[in-house]
Amino acid sequence: MKNVDKKDEALNKLFSGYIEEAECPPEGVTFMAKEAMDENTVRERATELQLAAQTSHGGEQASGSGRRIPAKAYAVIAALFVLVAAVLLAVLLHVSGTDKFRDSPTDAGTDGSYISLAADDMTEREIEGFIVEDSSDGSGANSSDLFFFVEDGTRGEYSEFALTDSVGDYTEGDVVVYRLRCSVPPGVAVVVYVEAEGVRFDELNDYKDLPESRSIGDDVFELGKDGQNTLIYFSSGGYGYNLCLQTSDSEKVDAVLSHISEGVN
């Protein structure tokens, strides 16, 4: 309506003088003039619409260009999410696949895996007279080969730890940890824990992380201190030996190591 009003106003101005001074122009003339102005108005309107469309299109392009930045941000966030999910999945798989009884003892020593046992996994029984019986298949330990460095008459309290459940190659009731209080030349009081092949007793983990390593011939001993006591770890015949020597005297410790090494060889 505004365009029509402006058009009529323009026509009035165009012919106002003529109307006042002469006769009105023929109707065909006024019609042609009005039609011409209508065409101009249409062209102006079309130009405005074209400019508006271009502006709108440019705005969409700008808007589209603006959307590319959030899209990249979303891609980064998605990648981080996938990475975090992968890490969590790996952790969950590791935890779910790690049991207290991890691997078969037959794998011990080849890939570093062991059966980890807590005190609740075993039943301790004290045995009088220090009798270590062979198993029926001859694979068990006896007093002479298990405590090869302990002399007769120096053995004291002796205990065995038997499994409460079957695990790996071991069955319920199998003895997997042995403990002996004894004396080792040159008269040093010792508490010895022996772990069966492929077995690690959790309470003896400190023995597996001792700071000093010493070699005597082909034998390797790990050593450390615990107050006035000396801790020693070594392996022989597939068994793990954990010794707590009730002395910190270096000469006595050296003598004990030499005595054990002679027994091994």
What is the tens place of the pLDDT at every residue in 27-51? 554 555 555 555 555 555 655 556 5
* pLDDT the model gives residue 222: 98
> What number is the average pLDDT over the span 198-224?
95
Task: State the DSSP code for 65.
Answer: H
* pLDDT the model gives residue 6: 59
Q: Is the peptide bond before 186 cis (omega within 30 degrees of 0)?
A: yes
Which CATH topology does 105-264 take? Protein Transport Mog1p; Chain A (3.40.1000)
* pLDDT the model gives residue 175: 93
**Amino acid, res. 249:** D
- Percentage, residues of the chain above pLDDT 90: 40
What span, in angstroms and rounded, lies between the C-alpha atoms of 93 and 112? 20
Neighbours of 255 (CB within 10 A): 16
* pLDDT the model gives residue 51: 58
> What number is the average pLDDT over the span 227-247?
96
Per-residue pLDDT band at 93 (split at 50, 70, 90): low
What span, in angstroms and rounded, lies between the C-alpha atoms of 176 and 170? 8
Q: How confident is the prediction for the chain on average, in pLDDT?
A: 74
**Amino acid, res. 7:** K
Q: Among 40-54, 147-161, 226-240, 247-261, name the one with the lowest average pLDDT.
A: 40-54
CB 204 within 8 A of CB 241: no
Which of the pair, 245 or 237, is modelled with greater confidence? Answer: 245
* pLDDT the model gives residue 134: 44
* pLDDT the model gives residue 104: 32
Taking Cα atoms as reference points, which of 223, 133, 217 lies closest to residue 175? 133
CB 199 within 8 A of CB 174: no
What span, in angstroms and rounded, lies between the C-alpha atoms of 210 and 39? 101
* pLDDT the model gives residue 8: 60
> What number is the average pLDDT over the span 187-216?
95
